[in-house]
Amino acid sequence: MELLSGADMIARFLADEGVEHIYGYPGGAALHIYDALFRQDAVKHILVRHEQAATHMADGYARSTGKPGVVLVTSGPGATNAVTGIATAYMDSIPMVVLCGQVASHLIGEDAFQETDIVGVTRPIVKHSFTIKHPSDIPTVLKKAFYIAASGRPGPVVVDIPKDMTSPNERHEYSYPKKVKLRSYAPPARGHAGQIKKAVDLITSAQRPVVFAGGGIITGHASEALTDLARRLDLPVVTSLMGIGAFPQTDRQSLGWPGMHGSFVANQAMHNSDLIFCVGARFDDRVTNNVAKFCPTAKIIHVDIDPSSISKTITADVPIVGAASSVLNEMLGLLSERGVDTAQRDEQLSGWWKRIDEWRASRDGKLYEPSAPGELLKPEEVVEAVYRATNGDAFVATDVGQHQMFAAQYYKFDKPHRLITSGGLGTMGFGLPAAMGVKLNHPNEQVVLFTGEGSFQMMMQELSTCKQFGIGVKIINLNNHSLGMVRQWQDLNYKARHAHSYVESLPDFTTLFKAYGFKALSVDKAEQLEGALAETFADRSELVFLDVQVDPREHVYPMQVPNGAMNDMLLSKTERT
Amino acid sequence: MRHIISILLENEPGALSRVVGLFSQRNFNIETLNVAPTEDESLSRLTVTTFGDERIIEQITKHLNRLIDVVKLVDLTEGDHVERELMLVKLKAVGDAREEIKRTAEIFRAQIVDITPSIYTVQIAGDAGKLDGFLQALGPSSILEVARTGVSGIARGEKTLSV
């Protein structure tokens, strides 16, 4: 066996684990590791300009590939800067391994320079964490970290590495552990056969069924099985925000996503259903609205790999703990055995589909008021134009706010892993680094960032990283000179007192991008958009910034009425259900 | 309703803080908490008493099970079980009170474990109700200090919580 220092073990382990990129920022406690990275070339390090961006880049990579993103930061401020990104990944169940330098073991607890108890700080926002106690533990601990991060319900794992653990003066035997076993951790795989049968009975007999598919379908690589099941039984499909792309959105059976800013038809269908077949979603408060008024006539089947998600907010009638793909495939097997009578299904569901199609048609052409030539664009039409310009086949990252909702509403996703958005935590600043993480790993794809001037300014230092590594993301800035979602709530709930939601002293963004040597375009009239988009998307390898001045008065609709049922919605500034 | 949850936990630094942190993070109550290593030194046994309706208790056990350091757990109150807590009470014991305290201690099968001319320290074991009863019988005026271990418990019969 080979003798390696702790630092060399880390570099070697990452290569053996198949990690191509790690995102990070050096500092004192991590310097042995950085030296080890310098002396190898299997793993490429991407230097960010702020550690939060490293976590979001790793997150973007993970969301677009399903594999854990890897971050390397130093102790103290390096680690605390990563906290927001770790929390973001935790809330959306994104696999991530964060390697944190730490002060040397003998200094821990002495308030040493750049010392922070990062295991303590991150405890409520990690799936698990480790502290390295001996250099020879490094391969096993890292293998456990990757295994825990990516298996079961994925999540971030922090590994705290005191500096003496990576000292070049101490060498230990290294071998790559192909497998690890943890006696206290065994993610569930197959669901309970009896429950699965019961679920299939309920689904096939329901008169008004709705499939509610969440992010678990995407992380569990189960969208093919879900799509197959929904098509065989002609089921209407709603996906959560995190589940967008789990079922093709251009399909007739897709009703979009539900919840606070979800589609009219999705909210109506769920509210009026007699059965909700939920797979891999967690009935978040942004979906359910008031839980006491939630879907009064629906029975609930809830499939989740994490038992604690089941009956947490909404009580399940048929709970099934298991991996989405395994459970769905067993259901498909049962359906194949029993056979599906298409004519009978058509008859059973025709009334339900008729109601759904009426709800859908009732909002056609009424979603927003398009702009006229010479006017400011509406943000919704910008998203629709980008959808056309990219043939609906881009990876789309968003920041957080109105533009995020517009992007999710008006870009139609037919594939999983394509919408990269901070759903649970709602982290402004997420978008740019997340898009960069996607683009680095999908260099030949169009990667679009929808952002706003508020979110963008939270992470705009990363333009320098884009320049260094030639990351050609397309940045569409829906510029309304205000924190649009905050402003919308102030319009609705605070008599339009716009307390600190107006962004004064915006920079001239195009000049800013030009300072980094990037192409920057701007549009302030509706008729300029198509040409600008053609130029933006002409060369996939080139970073292009497009500043679009949009109507600041625009609100995101539908919008659920607070404390109402799912289908209590404001439909525009003047209409309510 | 009150529940006693016993947990086998990896005897690792930080494992206890994950359990305690979970309770505060998720807004669950801890009434008592008791932890010590088991006969297998790689494991600690932690016993927590908590209050909540069925839904809350279900969430508590599910979230505890989600912690990687939690190896196994049981809600002892779901079945027959033995529940014990140890308490040490320091009492002002002068004049007639010395005899009175001794009598009360005998009734409760408590033992006097330390004596000075003006102080008794009394040890008593039992379920939480017995300990509360003993304190009530003594009356607040004589009590100088109370140290309770928190509840520990074990299932009756053949059921075991082990790896």
Map residue B148 onto helix, strand or coil. strand
List Cβ neighbours of A181 (8 Å cut-off, separation of 6 or more). none
Q: How far apart are CA A357 and CA A422, in angstroms?
A: 31
Q: How far apart are CA A295 and CA A272, in angstroms?
A: 7
Asked if A509 and A545 touch (Cβ cutoff 8 Å), the reply is: yes
Supply the pLDDT for residue B13: 87
The domains located in chain B, with CATH, are: 2-79 (3.30.70.260), 82-152 (3.30.70.1150)
Give domain limits for chain A.
Answer: 2-174, 193-363, 379-556
Q: Residues in chain A whose beta carbon is closer than 8 A to a beta carbon of chain B?
A: 119-120, 123-124, 127-129, 131, 148, 182-185, 306-308, 311-312, 315
Supply the pLDDT for residue A151: 96
Each of the 577 residues of chain A gets a pLDDT tens digit; together they read: 789 999 999 999 999 999 999 999 999 999 999 999 999 999 999 999 999 999 999 999 999 999 999 999 999 999 999 999 999 999 999 999 999 999 999 999 999 999 999 999 999 999 999 999 999 999 999 999 999 999 999 999 999 999 999 999 999 999 999 999 899 999 988 999 999 999 999 999 999 999 999 999 999 999 999 999 999 999 999 999 999 999 999 999 999 999 999 999 999 999 999 999 999 999 999 999 999 999 999 999 999 999 999 999 999 999 999 999 999 999 999 999 999 999 999 999 999 999 999 999 998 878 899 999 899 999 999 999 999 999 999 999 999 999 999 999 999 999 999 999 999 999 999 999 999 999 999 999 999 999 999 999 999 999 999 999 999 999 999 999 999 999 999 999 999 999 999 888 999 999 999 999 999 999 999 999 999 999 999 999 999 999 999 999 999 999 999 999 999 999 999 999 8
- At what angle are helices A193-205 and A324-338 packed, to 10 degrees? 60
Fold of A2-174: Rossmann fold (3.40.50)
Across-strand partners of A411?
A: none
Q: Please tell me the CATH code under which domain A379-556 is placed.
A: 3.40.50.970
User: Where do we find the tokens 């829906």?
Assistant: A478
Supply the pLDDT for residue A361: 94
In the numeric block, which tokens belong to residue A274? 């007699």
Question: Counting one residue from A and one from B, how many pairs have CB atoms under 8 Å apart?
Answer: 38
Q: How far apart are CA A147 and CA A125, in angstroms?
A: 18
- The pLDDT averaged over each successive group of 10 residues in chain B (163 residues) is 96 93 93 95 96 93 96 96 97 93 96 96 96 94 94 95 90
Supply the pLDDT for residue A343: 94
Q: How far apart are CA A8 and CA A11, in angstroms?
A: 5
Domains A193-363 and A379-556 fall in the same CATH topology: yes
Q: Which of A153, A149, A111 has its CA nearest to residue A130?
A: A149
User: Which residues from chain A sit within 8 angstroms of residue B14, using beta carbons?
Assistant: 119-120, 123, 129, 131
Cβ of B66 within 8 Å of Cβ of A120? The answer is: no
Supply the pLDDT for residue A120: 96
Chain B residue with the nearest C-alpha to that of A185 = B68
In the numeric block, which tokens belong to residue A198? 């019961």
Say what the ipTM of the complex is. Answer: 0.91
Q: Does domain A193-363 have CATH number 3.30.70.1140?
A: no
Terminal Cα distance for chain A, rounded:
70
Rounded to a whole number of angstroms, the distance from the CA of B95 to the nearest CA of chain A is 50
Hey, which residues of A are catalytic here?
51, 113-114, 163, 485
